[in-house]
């Protein structure tokens, strides 16, 4: 299997962390594929009409996308039912936490694009403020309502942990640990996991 994308993307890293957590790290070849949001990447477009990273190319040459589908596919291939439990109550709790983590990542990546990619003078200040408010709201919700779920390694805790690491890397002055001691302590331990160490974002 081949996973296309840059580990700078939290969605790519979520997928690779999942691969390591389910024991497929050695079977998934990570191929760094840089993208430009304004241009078509022909290599990616051959696997997905959307052409966004991450894309997983299966052993049979089929494209699997987006990150949530890739994470579930890897769990399926590995026969792992811990990261996405079968039990209905647990399953949807985990998937909701995953959606929360990925929504936080969506807001953080979009904010980063707005300040780094959009031409100067064209940034939409109100929109940027709303993106930051979404990130803060998601972090507050995790601190206040999800710490019990973070105690287990699931696709939900992976989504949250990787997104916080992305914010540390791309938005170092964000200060998300302020007022969130439980989340900060949890994340410190999560970043010591082998899956996170093996997928650490290389210096740029």
Q: Identify the CATH number of the domain in which residue 126 sits.
A: 1.20.1050.10
Residue identified by tokens 């840059």 is: 6
Under the banding of pLDDT at 50, 70 and 90, the label for residue 117 is low
Residues 55 and 95 reside in one and the same domain = no
- Residue (of 92, 86, 176, 188) closest to 140 by Cα position: 176
Say what the pLDDT of residue 98 is.
98
Q: What is the pTM of this model?
A: 0.94
Answer whether residue 200 is part of any domain.
Answer: no
**Tens-place pLDDT, residues 127-172:** 788 999 999 999 999 999 999 999 999 999 999 999 999 999 999 9
Answer whether residue 14 is part of any domain.
Answer: yes
Give the CATH number of the domain where residue 32 resides.
3.40.30.10
Q: Which of 78, 103, 118 is the last residue of a domain?
A: 78
Answer whether residue 65 is part of any domain.
Answer: yes
User: In terms of residue numbers, what domain contains 186?
Assistant: 88-193
Environment class of residue 72 by beta-carbon count within 10 Å: exposed (0-12), middle (13-18) or buried (19+)?
middle
What 3-state class would DSSP assign to 34?
Answer: coil
Answer whether residue 140 is part of any domain.
Answer: yes
Residues 70 and 113 reside in one and the same domain = no
Answer whether residue 110 is part of any domain.
Answer: yes
Residues 101 and 154 reside in one and the same domain = yes
């Amino acid at each position: 299997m081949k996973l296309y994308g840059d580990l700078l993307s939290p969605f790519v890293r979520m997928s690779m962390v999942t691969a390591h957590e389910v024991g497929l790290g050695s079977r998934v070849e990570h191929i760094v594929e840089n993208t430009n949001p304004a241009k078509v990447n022909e290599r990616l477009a051959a696997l997905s009409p959307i052409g966004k990273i991450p894309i997983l190319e299966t052993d049979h040459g089929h494209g699997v996308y987006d990150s949530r589908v890739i994470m579930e596919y890897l769990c399926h291939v590995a026969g792992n039912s811990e990261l996405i439990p079968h039990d209905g109550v647990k399953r949807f709790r985990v998937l909701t936490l995953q959606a929360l983590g990925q929504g936080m990542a969506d807001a953080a990546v979009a904010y980063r694009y707005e300040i780094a990619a959009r031409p100067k003078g064209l940034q939409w200040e109100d929109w940027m403020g709303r993106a930051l408010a979404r990130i803060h709201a998601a972090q507050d919700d995790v601190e206040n309502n999800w710490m019990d779920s973070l105690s287990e390694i699931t696709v939900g805790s992976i989504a949250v942990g990787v997104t916080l690491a992305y914010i540390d890397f791309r938005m170092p002055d964000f200060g998300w640990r302020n007022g969130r001691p439980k989340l900060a302590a949890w994340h410190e331990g999560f970043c010591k996991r082998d899956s996170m160490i093996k997928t650490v974002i290389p210096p740029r």
